[in-house]
Structure 1
Amino acid sequence: MKKPFRYLVPAKVAALALVATSAMADTVKIAVIDPLSGPFAALGENQLKSWQFMGEVANKEKWAGEHTLEFVAFDNKASPQESLNQLKRAIDGGFRYIAQANGSGAGLALIDAINKYNERNPGKEVIYINHGAVDPELTNGKCSFWHFSFDSNSDMKMQALVEHMSQNKSIKKVYIIGQDYAFGRSVSRTAKEYLKGKRPDVEIVGDDLHPIGQVKDFAPYVSKIKASGADTVITGNWGADLSLLIKASKDAGVDANFYTYYAVLKGAPTAMGSAGAGKVKYVGVWNVNNESGAGKDIVEAFKAKFNDDYTWMQTHSAVTMLSKAIREAKTTDPVKVALKMEGMTVKSLNGDVTMRAADHQLQQPLYIAVWSKAGDKDVRFDQEGTGFGWKTEKKVPAEVATQPTACKMKRPAS
């Protein structure tokens, strides 16, 4: 005898629900537009691995609900023009989220292009997730609704760095050196401005800008640093430009402390070795050897998978917040996701972080750390197999690291 029809309904409902759920589950493709060739390739590759690793974690644990994240590489060769070429490729390929970090010049070019594209293509908008381009203009005069900065800008970092330096009365002579583009010029300007305010007795004995990614031998610059009698060097250099600067300084026997933004990143630890112990410091949004051990499992799993160091913590903050916004918006539509991210607070590896709605600049703690011998409770993880790692000297709370913004943001009509 056939079962009554009513007994078949639940099975049909379940099947229809499964189909509906499957139909609503999107793969969110994020184009990672950063250097994968040229002098900054090693850094770009490490960042790409970081994105993809965090994407795997988020997908496995369903941070974005049934939606999944996929990070795809686009090589911009660290060039603003090539970044625009890759942006067009990504958009033509259906990508509506892009990520970029290496170079504020590229970041400024991308913001301008994305603003124009979104204005001309309502309903097909693109979001820019910035995890490392830190020129303050990106969240001030050039701020955009379509741009979200997950790194702290260079002024925020310099403020923390100079405040820390101001307590060290042995600092008398400072030499500033950086890459000749928007970010490097910003570092030079704010270093002089903030030092004048906090330590007017400090003498600026040099201020050099060099072509980005083109200098193969920093010996001539190092000779000037040594001849100046500087006891302290401030540099915003990153990638090969920082590694080569540190190596040349070590080879020349420069006896100065280096205050950096990016000595924690790929290549610099190996270049420093034991010579940098106690002398090289960095300011950043996280220290792998943090006070609570947050991120220990991620660091160990990343090392096991790639035989590489997980240092680009911004990817954790961005994936966490993007996933939560997608889940709460119940859609992958960039406009609705962006509106959810505004003002959102999530817990990242450095504590609670908030995306300030006024300028889309993440508000978060900052760390100042010094290169130190690894092996004790303060330096649990070394870097690049050197036997040395980063010891926290100071953690700056988010409310202290914050700065005002001059952003006058134009939001979509919706």
Structure 2
Amino acid sequence: MRFTKRMFGVVIGASMALHAGLAFAQKGETVKIAWIDPLSGLMAPVGQNQVKSFQFFAEKFNNDPKLNPAGVKFEIIALDNKLSPTESLNAFKAALDQGVRYITQGNGSSVAGALIEAVAKHNERNPGKEVVYLNHSAVDPDFTNSKCNYWHFRFDADTSMKMEALTTFIKEAQPDVKKVYLLNQNYSHGHQVARFAKENLAKKRPDVQIVGEDLHPLAQVRDFAPYVAKIKAAGADTIITGNWGSDLALLVKAANEGGYTGKFFTYYSGVSGTPTALGKSYEGKLFQASYNHYNLPGQMGKWQAEYKAKFNDDFYTGSVIRIYSALTAAMAKAKSTDPVKVAAALEGLSFNGNMNGEVEMRKTDHQLQQPLYITVWQKADAKFPYSPENTGMTLAPVKEYPAYVSSTPTSCQMKRPGAGA
């Protein structure tokens, strides 16, 4: 079969064979993962980057026994959901028709919520054909609290964890932050960013004033100039935003063009488009909270250089590596690729995340426990050399919060198959 760009949104993988098969771990067995995220629309650049990331690391894990103790072969089936919950459910059905037992998604918590529910219903109705959902980036805290589900595992840090880190950093190191404007996307993640920012600042920095708050449509705004005008008129010296993709890149562009000189505290400044929009502006004024960064030492630097040489793009979704690391460790432990056995092995699993040491998938709620980093936008230098989008700038680490510090409590009452609550 000849692979063309037209097929890009349908199948990407180490193997083109689609077989249902029984799930018993053996060397060379193919494990299919359906990737359900946007490959069209304003957020397409993010999705295209991430599907390449899954493809790139499938090849790494498929060919390196040290990375892959289970000895399985990963195949990625890429399905364009257009950032739509409805399209995502259609993609999920298509994946099931192709014998998929593992799915991954991360762009848009509205999509994630729909998939969590769909996977739970499918598994309840189809014993013996269970599916595991590997969440690479959807960060609504409810998914590991009130809406926690046994079949869902999150590899990103949730919104509350990142805001805990950001506001602690503001308390410890940013005394000049006085007037904050909250600008976020109008869906669950954006609502949660605003909520946790207000709650955390009230406790840690009661002197800080929230001078304005706006929610805007997700992936629809092309000109943020009116929002920037409101922010400037409110006298804000700081913007806190959980925006990502085009919604952050276009916001930063408008802020730059509109002469906004205050600070940004963000979640996703390293993601496609935003580094270019930042350029050399906001040096020392833009901060990001994340579970990884562009200047991690060791093997990560080599992988990033190889990824950039191959795709002329930047690798930033580190959860991809952790998903493969966790799956191979769990499959080796379970001696099976059966999702029921692998899910049980994933619970409470401590494993080498192949980025920055050991991490743990918390059994209580299936939230990965991991360190968080605060990085600042600055010129790339000998110590922190990686330059995203060839800007000559980088996100340099200024603070690390270990996993036990960045962790937040959970209210999850996990219901496990056949075991009640």
| TM-score, with structure 1 as normaliser | 0.93
Q: How many pairs align?
A: 392
Deviates most, 365-374 or 341-350: 341-350
In 1, Cα distance between the equivalents of 2:69 and 2:217? Answer: 42
**Structure 1 unaligned spans of 5+:** 1-20
Task: Specify whether residues 158 and 294 from structure 1 end up closer, same or farther in structure 2 by C-alpha distance, changes over 3 A only.
Answer: farther
Determine the structure 2 residue equivalent to 1:173. Answer: 179
Determine the structure 2 residue equivalent to 1:270. Answer: 276
Determine the structure 2 residue equivalent to 1:208. Answer: 214
| Contact residue 285 and residue 350 of structure 1 kept, 8 A | no
In 1, Cα distance between the equivalents of 2:201 and 2:43? Answer: 30
Determine the structure 2 residue equivalent to 1:361. Answer: 367
Q: Deviations over 1:151-195 (max 9, x none)?
A: 010000000000001121111100000000000000000100100
Alignment counterpart, residue 372 of structure 1, candidates 361, 378, 381: 378
* Deviation of 1:22 (Å): 11
| Contact residue 30 and residue 98 of structure 1 kept, 8 A | yes
CA RMSD of aligned residues (A): 1.4
Letter of the structure 1 residue corresponding to residue 31 of structure 2: V
Q: Percent identity?
A: 51
1:351 and 2:340 matched = no
Q: Deviations over 1:318-370 (max 9, x none)?
A: 11011111122111100101111111111221321100000000000000000
SS at match of 2:223: coil
Alignment counterpart, residue 169 of structure 2, candidates 164, 170, 174: 164
| TM-score, with structure 2 as normaliser | 0.91
Alignment counterpart, residue 259 of structure 2, candidates 253, 256, 260: 253
Q: Deviations over 1:226-277 (max 9, x none)?
A: 1111111000000000000000000001011000000011110000000121
* Deviation of 1:66 (Å): 3.1
SS at match of 1:61: coil
SS at match of 1:117: helix
Letter of the structure 1 residue corresponding to residue 391 of structure 2: T
Task: Specify whether residues 216 and 238 from structure 1 end up closer, same or farther in structure 2 by C-alpha distance, changes over 3 A only.
Answer: same
Determine the structure 2 residue equivalent to 1:37. Answer: 40
SS at match of 1:335: helix
| Contact residue 177 and residue 207 of structure 1 kept, 8 A | yes
Alignment counterpart, residue 63 of structure 2, candidates 49, 52, 60: 60
Determine the structure 1 residue equivalent to 2:11. Answer: none
Alignment counterpart, residue 153 of structure 1, candidates 145, 149, 158: 158
Q: Deviations over 1:51-106 (max 9, x none)?
A: 11111111001305332111111000111111111111111211110000100000
Determine the structure 1 residue equivalent to 2:4. Answer: none
1:338 and 2:343 matched = yes
Task: Specify whether residues 23 and 173 from structure 1 end up closer, same or farther in structure 2 by C-alpha distance, changes over 3 A only.
Answer: closer
Letter of the structure 1 residue corresponding to residue 110 of structure 2: G
In 2, Cα distance between the equivalents of 1:22 and 1:51? Answer: 21
Determine the structure 2 residue equivalent to 1:391. Answer: 396
SS at match of 1:248: helix
SS at match of 2:388: coil
1:95 and 2:100 matched = yes
Letter of the structure 2 residue corresponding to residue 50 of structure 1: S
SS at match of 2:280: helix
Alignment counterpart, residue 239 of structure 1, candidates 226, 245, 257: 245
Letter of the structure 1 residue corresponding to residue 226 of structure 2: P
SS at match of 2:281: helix
**Structure 2 unaligned spans of 5+:** 1-23
Structure 1 ranges of 4+ moved more than 3 A: 21-25
Letter of the structure 2 residue corresponding to residue 393 of structure 1: V
| Contact residue 350 and residue 364 of structure 1 kept, 8 A | no
SS at match of 2:239: strand
* Higher helix residue share: 1
Deviates most, 259-268 or 320-329: 320-329
In 1, Cα distance between the equivalents of 2:26 and 2:361? Answer: 31
Q: Deviations over 1:299-323 (max 9, x none)?
A: 1111111111111111111110111
